[in-house]
Amino acid sequence: MDYYIIRDNRRQGPFSMEQLKEAGLTRDTKVWHEGMAGWADAADVPELAELALPPSPPPLNEAGRGANEAERPPMPKTWLAESIIVTLLCCIVFGIIAIIYSTQVESNYLMGKYELAEYKSRQARNMVLWGIGTGIGLCVIYIAFLVFTAMLSAL
């Protein structure tokens, strides 16, 4: 017996029973064969019920994300690039701490822990700012020390 299926809103077939096994038939795939009154789910056709796989996941929306992802708030800034720059140029201690926080932003966001992702982003930003402030402060102290020693050597 030959079966027709609806996939991607298009009728496809005819398929033999062996071809349906290979086609990835799911329980919610609409099927029809000669003698049926109308289209039915594969799970409702006795000879296909055991062949059918579990239902397929929900379709993706036009942005390429699932329905739950469309409801996500925007991901907070990770501050990773700034953290690396602070580590290399200003203050290693605050830079490394900022890198640790910034690498946790995206993973927490993807796990659905939005508040924790925002917290990690704020902490990374704070560490970046503290690193920049410390770097600038040390530069000012160093320049003041150079000026002071130059003035002392001029005496």
What pLDDT score was predicted for residue 75? 93
What pLDDT score was predicted for residue 98? 95
What pLDDT score was predicted for residue 55? 56
Interval 51-77 mean pLDDT = 66
What is the tens place of the pLDDT at every residue in 140-152?
999 999 999 999 9
What is the tens place of the pLDDT at every residue in 24-43?
777 788 888 888 888 888 88
DSSP 3-state of 87 = helix
Interval 76-99 mean pLDDT = 94
What pLDDT score was predicted for residue 17? 80
Share of the chain above pLDDT 90, in %: 50
What pLDDT score was predicted for residue 104? 95
* Contact present, 106 and 77 (Cβ < 8 Å): no
Please work out, in degrees rounded to the nearest 5, the angle formed at the alpha carbon of residue 56 by the alpha carbons of 12 and 69: 125
Q: Starting at the edge strand that comes first in sequence, how are the strands of the sheet with 10-15 ordered?
A: 10-15, 3-7, 30-33, 40-41
